[in-house]
C-alpha cells in the first residue's frame, strides 16, 4: 500500500486522536458506519481499528467496490478493541 498521503503529514478521518500510528494507503479508502449511523472515512489501517473497536460498526455498503474493503475486514478481525491503547 502506498503511504504517500501520510508522508505529506495528513491524517485520515478514522484516525483516533490518541492513535499515533501512520495512515496506510489512500486517506479515503473506505467508510465505516457506526451503530448510530455516523460515518467516518479513512485509510485501511485506521478504518480497521475503528471497525474492531466500535460495537456494531460496519463498512458502508458501497465499500464492497473498494479494493481495500477485504483488507480492512481481515485486519479488524485480528485487532482488539482500541488497539492504540494497548500497543497494537
The model's pLDDT over 28-71, given as tens digits with 9 standing for 90+, comes to 999 999 999 999 999 999 999 999 999 999 998 777 677 888 88
Rg of the chain over Cα atoms, rounded to whole angstroms, equals 12
Q: Which three cell numbers stand for residue 30?
A: 473506505
What pTM value is reported for the model?
0.82
Q: Kindly state the average pLDDT of the residues 73-88.
A: 84
Q: Please tell me the predicted confidence (pLDDT) of residue 5.
A: 47
Q: Please tell me the predicted confidence (pLDDT) of residue 66.
A: 76
Nearest to 45 by CA among 36, 53, 56, 33: 53
Could you tell me the strand order of the sheet in which 58-59 lies?
Answer: 39-42, 30-33, 58-59
Q: Which three cell numbers stand for residue 68?
A: 481495500
Strand, helix or coil for residue 88: coil
Amino acid at each position: 500500500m502506498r503511504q504517500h498521503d501520510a508522508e505529506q503529514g495528513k491524517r485520515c478521518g478514522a484516525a483516533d486522536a490518541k492513535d499515533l500510528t501512520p495512515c496506510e494507503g489512500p486517506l479515503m479508502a473506505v467508510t465505516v458506519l457506526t451503530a448510530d449511523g455516523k460515518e467516518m472515512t479513512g485509510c485501511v489501517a485506521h478504518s480497521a481499528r475503528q471497525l474492531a473497536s466500535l460495537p456494531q460498526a460496519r463498512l458502508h455498503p458501497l465499500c464492497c467496490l473498494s479494493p481495500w474493503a477485504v483488507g480492512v475486514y481481515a485486519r479488524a478481525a485480528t485487532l482488539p478493541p482500541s488497539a492504540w491503547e494497548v500497543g497494537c
